Structure 1
Amino acid sequence: MRKLVVLPLLVIVFVSMMAEEGKAITCSQANLSMAPCLSYLMNGGNPSALCCKGMKNLKKATPEKDDRQTVCRCLKDTATKNPKIKDDNASQLPGKCGVDFGVPFSTGTNCDSVN
């Protein structure tokens, strides 16, 4: 029971730490930010509040085009390696969380076109 409480708190702490504007984001940080979304990405339904908070923090942590392209490549690579992630769920996630990345989340996204 204790582990169930500690894990979400750790995710919140790490997601909050990664949202420092002006610092380059890493794939580990991007994946950690999206970790609470994994259930939604695989099963659909409604994303959790923690998932949407991670999305908002990820948006805040990517003010520059290069950062957004890096995150795009990281998330695309992760999704490609996990066949349980459904592309339809990924493309709907930003809208369900009220976050506009300016590009759809999809394994077919051309990350070089991200502005």
Structure 2
Amino acid sequence: MENGHGCARATKDVSLQELRDTLAEFSKVRGWDQYHSPRNLLLALVGEVGELSEIFQWKGEVARGLPNWSSKDKEHLEEEISDVLLYLVQLADVCGLDLGQAALTKIIKNAQKYPVVNQTTSS
């Protein structure tokens, strides 16, 4: 399915590798690779995180699932979260890192650092 921008709209789970490959092709055909140094991608990522933060800045606590948000607000959030993800995937790629494997390794390290503590309740 086309989204109007010459890219297929995903209707299935998408892997990080698929995102990486699609982004690489997107940048290559536009001649943007020359601008995608690790530093430039990091600065762009930080900018996008700022835009994402602005969405929540004055909302206070927000319920899971965003039940009180309009579809327009949810779409805006989706776009900004996507921007953050796309820059992160590109940054990992230009640094030669396997982002998916790095994330799984980090979860394992966190599990060791923060083991499950059995909690018992007293009555």
Q: Which has the higher helix share?
A: 1
Q: Higher Cα Rg: structure 1 or 2?
A: 2
Settle same-fold status: TM greater than 0.5: no
